[in-house]
Amino acid sequence: MSNYKILGKGIPRIDTPQKATGDALYTADIKLPNMLVGKVLHSPLAHAKILNIDVSKAKKVPGVKAVITRDDTFGEKWGVFKYTRDHQLIASDKVRFIGEEVAAVAAVDEETALEALDLIKVDYEPLPAVFDAEEAMKDGAPLIHEDHPNNINIHVKIDVGDVDKAFEKAYLVREDKFTSKDEGYGMLEPYAVIAYYHSDGSIEIWMPNASPHTKAKALSNLLHIPLNKVIVRRPTIGGAFGGRSDIFPLDFITSLLSIKARRPVKVVYTREESMICTRQVHSMVMYAKTGVTKDGKILAQDIKVIMDGGAYSSTGPIAASVPFLVWEETYKLENVRLNSYRVYTNKPIRGMYRCHGRAFLGGLGMQLDMIAEELGIDPVEIRLRNALNPGDMQATKSKIYSCGLKEAIKKAAEKIEWDKKRGKLPFGRGVGIGANGMMCGFPMGIRGGSSCFVKFNEDGYPTIISGVIDNGQGNYHAMVQIASEVLGVPPEEIHIVAGDTEVTTLDVGAYSQAAVLVSGNAVKKACEDAKAQILKLASEMLNCSEDELDIENKIVFSKKDKSKQVPLHKVIRKGLIENRHVMGRGHYMPEVSNDREWVKNPVGQQATTFSFGANAVEVEVDTNTGEVKIINAVGFHDCGFPINIKGVQGQYEGSIASGGVGSTLKEEHIFKDGKVLNADFLEYKIPTSLDVPENVYADAVITNDPKGPFGAKEAGLFGSMNSFQAIANAIYDAVGVWIKDFPITPDKILKALEEKRLKDEG
C-alpha cells in the first residue's frame, strides 16, 4: 500500500485527550475578567414592520451595562457574496422570521439581563407572511425583500448540450416529483459567542466556527474595524456539519455589546435559540425529467428545484448549486438543464449542510432505480454504466483526475452481498445502493487558498501555524500527521496553532471539504521547505550531500551510512547561531477556474479534484409499524489516500447515522405559522445509540490523487449525501413502495403499503 511512516495509520488523535478529560475549552467554557452576560430579544412575529423600539426602561435597570438595537449599527448589510448582501444581522426596518434578533442587553448577570429584555418595548405592524417556497414564488405573494420579485433569492440556471433534442432520442422518459422537509443540524454544542473590545480598537471574539477568516471578514466590514484588529480566536468546537460557516447575527450583536459596554460579553444561546437563530436546513421540492437509452445511459435530464431558503441569503448561491454539482460529479451528463431557485420565506435562515439535498440527490438516485427497474437493469449496473471515469469532463467542465467511483460501487455491492440479496430476501428485507462524487473545495477566490508557517524551537520541537479549523472532524490531527511524515517528528511532539486570525494567515476553513487538499497541501509544502533548510545545515555538519539525508524520530541521518547522524535540535541550534533560522513557509491555491461564478458563469473547473464513494445498506421494514431498521451499512470511500483510516471510518459512521438514519428516516422541523414547534432534542429526533445501524463497515478505496497531499482528498461526505437513495432503494426492495418525500417516516410507509395493497387487489 505505502511506505509511509505515519500516514494511513489509525493513530489516536492529538486533540482527544483534552476532550476526554474535560480540559478542552469550548466557547461557553471560557471566562474572562469582568465579563458580562448578554441576552437577545427575538421577534415574536414572522413578518412585521418595526415602528419603534423603546429601550429607555431597560437601560435604567441597575446592572445593565449596554443595550443595543439597529441604532447602534453602521446600517451595513452582509451577505456571503456582494450580490447577496441582504442581512443587517439585527433587525432594522422589518422582522422576517420568528426568532429574528431585534435587540440585546449586556448586564452583570443573567437575571438582570433577562429583566431588562422584558422592559424593551417594540411596536410592530404585522405584515402578511408566507411559509411555503412554492407559494412564495406566486404572483401576489407577500414580498419579503422588496427588491426580489416573486421572493426569488437566487436562480441558478445551467443548460448543457441540447436537452430538448436529446429527449427526443430517449428510449424511456420519466418524470417525478420529490420533496423533503425542513431540517436542523443538531450539533451538540449550543451556539455561543464571547466578544472583548479593547481600548486599542481591536476586538477579540470566540465562537464555534468553520472558517475564522470568513467570520473576521464579515465583522470587519460590519464593525468598520480593519482585519488585523478583528481577532477571531480558536475555541474547541462542538460540531459544525456545514452549519457554522458564515457570519451569524449573534457574532455581530455580541461585538456591539462589548464595544458599547467596553467589557467582555458572553452570550450562550439556549438549545431553542441555537436551533432557530443560527441556521436550519432547506426544505425542497424537485421536479426531475430524465431520458435514457435502452441500456440505461442518461441521455437527457431536466431538473427544476425549489429550495426554501428562509428569510435571508446566507450561502444562497452555493446552496442552490451544490446538490446539482454533486450529481454532475457522479454521472456523465451530456445534456442537462438545471433551474434551481432558492426562495425567501418567513422562516429561519437556511445554510449548507452535510446532508443538503435529500430530495435532490435522494430523488435523482431513486429515479435512476425506477428507470433501472423499468428497463430490467440492476441498480448497481445502471450506476456503473453512467459513472464518471478518471479523465472525464463533468457537465459544467470540471475535469476528473483520480476517480475510484466504479471501484467503490463494486466493492460496496460485493460487501453487502448484492447478488445474493437484491430481490431475493424475504418480504420486509431489502438492499439498496447509492453513490456520489464530492468536490474538494469550492472556488472561493482569494479566500480559497491556505498558507502555513513552521517554526522550530531550540529544543528541536516544531510548531505548525495554519489557518485551518477543526470542528471535530480531525483536521488538526490530519495536519499534524502530514507534518510528522515530512519532518520526521512524532505527531505527539508537534504543536499546532490553528484558526486564530491574529497569527494565522487566510485559509478556506473547514468548509467545502477543502481542508485536507488545500490546508494540507500548504502544511506539506511548509514542512518540506523547513526540511530542506534542516538537511542543508545537517549536510554541513555531517560532511555529506543533502540528498542522502533524512529525518526520523528527530534524528537527521544518512541513508547510506547510519553512523552519520545528528539530533534535530543541534541542527536547529546551528541555524540559530549562524543567522540561518529554520522557518518553513508553504502556500497552496486550488487549481480552479477563477472566472467560474455560481450564478453568472457556472462553468469551469470548480475544484482541484474530487472524491467519490458508494454506500450499500440492508434494511428491515416492519410492515405492522412502518419502522425501518438498518441492519447493515457498508461504505467505500475514494478519499485518495486515508491520512488516518480511523478518521475516515469515523466520518462514515457518523454520516450514515445523521444522513442515513436521521435525514432519511427521522428528522424534520415542524412549523405552525412560521413558529418552530420542535426546537429541542426531545421532539427533533436526532438518532440515538438505539437507532443506528446494527453493523457498520467502512473502508477506503485508494487512488492516490496526483493533486492531494500524499494522494489524499476529502473524506467523509459521501456517507450522508448518498445514503438517502441507498435507503429509499432498499425500502423498495424490501416492501415494493417508493416514498418520494423525506424523511421516510413510518406513517408514509404504512400509507404506501395500504395503497399498494388496494391496488394489487384491484
Partner 1 sequence: MKQLIKLKVNGDEYEIAVAPWKTLNEVLRKELNLTGTKLGCGTGDCGACTVLVDGKAVNSCLTLAVEVQGKEITTIEGLAESEDKLHPIQESFIEKGAVQCGFCTPGMIMTTKYFLENNPSPTVEEIKKALDGNLCRCTGYVKIIDAIQDAAKKMKGGK
Question: With binding defined as CB under 8 A, does residue 33 bind partner 1?
Answer: no
Residue 76: phi and psi, rounded to 5, are -80, 145
Distance CA 348, CA 713 (A): 33
Binding partner 1 (rule: CB under 8 A), the pick from 1, 3, 21, 762 is 21
Stretch that binds partner 1, among 6-14, 135-143, 456-464, 535-543 (CB under 8 A): 6-14
Task: Judge whether 216 and 204 are in contact, CB under 8 Å.
Answer: no
Question: With binding defined as CB under 8 A, does residue 278 bind partner 1?
Answer: no
Question: With binding defined as CB under 8 A, does residue 114 bind partner 1?
Answer: no
Distance CA 494, CA 310 (A): 44
Question: With binding defined as CB under 8 A, does residue 473 bind partner 1?
Answer: yes
Binding partner 1 (rule: CB under 8 A), the pick from 2, 5, 16, 459 is 16
- State the virtual CA torsion across 434, 288, 751, 309 in degrees, nearest 10: 90
Helix axes 363-375, 379-386, angle to 10 degrees: 110
Burial of 677 (0-12, 13-18, 19+ CB in 10 A): exposed
Question: With binding defined as CB under 8 A, does residue 647 bind partner 1?
Answer: yes
Residue nearer to partner 1 on the CB measure, 568 or 676: 676
Question: With binding defined as CB under 8 A, does residue 343 bind partner 1?
Answer: no
Task: Give the nearest distance from C-beta 203 to partner 1 in angstroms.
Answer: 23
Question: With binding defined as CB under 8 A, does residue 271 bind partner 1?
Answer: yes
Distance CA 669, CA 683 (A): 9
Task: Give the nearest distance from C-beta 16 to partner 1 in angstroms.
Answer: 4
Give me the DSSP letters along 361-429: IIHHHHHHHHHHHHHT--HHHHHHHHB--TT-B-TTS-B--S--HHHHHHHHHHHTTHHHHTTTSPTTE
| Binding-site size, partner 1 (CB under 8 A) | 57
- The position carrying cell 450529481 is 327
Task: For residue 281, give the H/E element and its range.
Answer: strand 280-281
Binding partner 1 (rule: CB under 8 A), the pick from 4, 26, 81, 461 is 26
Task: Give the nearest distance from C-beta 689 to partner 1 in angstroms.
Answer: 4
- Reduced to 3 states (helix: H, G, I; strand: E, B; else coil), residue 729 is helix
Task: Judge whether 724 and 361 are in contact, CB under 8 Å.
Answer: yes
CA 137, 141, 142, 148 torsion-angle sign: positive
Residue nearer to partner 1 on the CB measure, 326 or 630: 630
Task: Judge whether 599 and 152 are in contact, CB under 8 Å.
Answer: no
Question: With binding defined as CB under 8 A, does residue 7 bind partner 1?
Answer: no
Question: With binding defined as CB under 8 A, does residue 539 bind partner 1?
Answer: no
Question: With binding defined as CB under 8 A, does residue 239 bind partner 1?
Answer: yes
Question: 178-204: b or e for each residue (b if 16 or more CB lie within 10 Å)?
Answer: bebbbbbbbbebbbbbbbbbeeeeebb
Question: With binding defined as CB under 8 A, does residue 237 bind partner 1?
Answer: yes
Question: With binding defined as CB under 8 A, does residue 10 bind partner 1?
Answer: yes
Task: Give the nearest distance from C-beta 352 to partner 1 in angstroms.
Answer: 16
For residues 374-413, which are near partner 1 according to CB under 8 A? none
Task: Give the nearest distance from C-beta 323 to partner 1 in angstroms.
Answer: 22
Question: With binding defined as CB under 8 A, does residue 688 bind partner 1?
Answer: yes
Stretch that binds partner 1, among 50-58, 590-598, 614-622, 679-687 (CB under 8 A): 679-687
Binding partner 1 (rule: CB under 8 A), the pick from 474, 520, 613, 711 is 474
Binding partner 1 (rule: CB under 8 A), the pick from 186, 309, 491, 626 is 186
The residues of the shown chain that bind partner 1, judged by CB under 8 A, are 10, 12-13, 15-26, 28-29, 31, 185-190, 236-239, 241, 268, 270-271, 471-474, 646-647, 649-650, 653-658, 680-682, 686-690, 692-693, 696
